[in-house]
Amino acid sequence: MNPNLSIYDNLGGESGVRALVEAFYPIVQQNEKLAPLFPENIQPVIDKQYMFLSQFFGGPALFSEAFGHPMMRARHMHFEVTVERAEAWLACMDLALTQVGVEEPLHSFVLQRLSGPAHHFVNTP
């Protein structure tokens, strides 16, 4: 991990973030806690997640350019997001990071960076 580069660049830029997101969603679709929250046609979700993570990780502001301010908590309010689901989401991301070959310390840094937002979305006991 190069501390002088953004997470986006450390992950390999566009291709790295795209690979991560494309590895992540098949794992999510197999997760009993998360799969029911997602539509059968997952491609639009994949595309939005790619745009969001690109921006969140310090790359181009693709999400804001397409949809305005992310307001991610508000965008997730109509889903029942529990602590268990937040943890399941992070566990799926952990597996995806491993699958695409993200090594330490970047692997742990990405998970830690995503942990705050994942738990911020919790809206159901």
Structure tokens at 1: 């991990």
Domain region containing 31 = 7-120
CATH at residue 79: 1.10.490.10
**64-85: b (≥16 Cβ within 10 Å) or e:** eeeeeebeeeeebeeeebeeeb
Query: Is the pTM here over 0.85, yes or no?
Result: yes
Does residue 50 fall inside a structural domain? yes
Structure tokens at 121: 């979305």
Does residue 2 fall inside a structural domain? no
Kindly give the confidence (pLDDT) of every residue in the chain, 125 residues in length, as a single tens digit, with 9 standing for 90 and above: 999 999 999 999 999 999 999 999 999 999 999 999 888 899 999 999 999 999 999 999 998 877 776 655 555 555 678 999 999 999 999 999 999 999 999 999 999 999 998 888 888 88
Domain count, the chain: 1
